[in-house]
Structure 1
Amino acid sequence: MPDLDALPLRERKKIQTGLRIFRTAIRLFTERDFDQVSVAEIAAAAEVSKMTVFNYFPSKEDLVMGPMEQHLDEPARVVRERAPGTSAVVALREHFTAALERFDPASGLNDDGTVLDVVRLIHRTPALALRATHGYDRVASSLLAAELLAQDPAHDELTARVATAQLLSARVALITGNHRRMLAGERAADALPAALDEARRAFALLEHGLGDYCAAVAAPASDGAGAA
Structure 2
Amino acid sequence: MSGRGLRELKKQRTFDAISTIAIGMFLAHGYDRVSVNDIAAAAEISKPTLFRYFPSKEDLVLHRIADHAGEPARVVAGRPGGQPAVDALHRHFRDGLARRDPVTGLNDDPDVLAYHDLVFATPSLAARVHDYQARDEESLAEALTADAPDPLTARLAAAQILAVQRVLARENWRRLSAGESAEALHPDAAAAADRAFHQLRTGLRLR
TM over 0.5: same fold? yes
2:43 alignment partner in structure 1: 46
The 5-angstrom pairing of residues 156-195 of structure 1 reads: 156-195=150-189
Is residue 126 from structure 1 mapped to residue 123 from structure 2 by the alignment? Answer: yes
Say whether the 8 Å CA contact 1:25–1:63 is kept in structure 2.
yes
1:142 to 107, 130, 138: 138
Say whether the 8 Å CA contact 1:26–1:117 is kept in structure 2.
no
Is residue 65 from structure 1 mapped to residue 59 from structure 2 by the alignment? Answer: no
What is the CA deviation profile of residues 128-149 of structure 1, one whole-angstrom value per residue up to 9, with x for unaligned ones?
Answer: 112212221x211111111111
1-structure distance, mates of 2:148, 2:13: 45
2-structure distance, mates of 1:180, 1:78: 26
CA change 1:207–1:19 in 2 (3 A) is: same
Richer in helix (by share): 2
Output the aligned Cα RMSD: 1.7
1:152 to 147, 155, 175: 147
Say whether the 8 Å CA contact 2:108–2:182 is kept in structure 1.
yes
Q: What secondary structure does 2:136 align onto?
A: helix
Is residue 92 from structure 1 mapped to residue 89 from structure 2 by the alignment? Answer: yes
Q: What secondary structure does 1:111 align onto?
A: coil
TM-score, normalized by length of structure 2? 0.90
2:199 alignment partner in structure 1: 205
1:106 to 95, 103, 106: 103
The amino acid of 2:50's aligned partner reads V
2:13 alignment partner in structure 1: 16
TM-score, normalized by length of structure 1? 0.83
Say whether the 8 Å CA contact 1:93–1:200 is kept in structure 2.
yes
List alignment gaps of at least 5 residues for structure 2.
none
The amino acid of 2:144's aligned partner reads L
What is the CA deviation profile of residues 72-93 of structure 1, one whole-angstrom value per residue up to 9, with x for unaligned ones?
Answer: 2001111111101101100000
Give the number of aligned pairs: 203
CA change 1:187–1:56 in 2 (3 A) is: farther
CA change 1:117–1:48 in 2 (3 A) is: farther
2-structure distance, mates of 1:191, 1:56: 37
CA change 1:148–1:15 in 2 (3 A) is: same
List alignment gaps of at least 5 residues for structure 1.
1-7, 216-228
1:225 alignment partner in structure 2: none
CA change 1:52–1:114 in 2 (3 A) is: farther
Say whether the 8 Å CA contact 2:72–2:136 is kept in structure 1.
yes
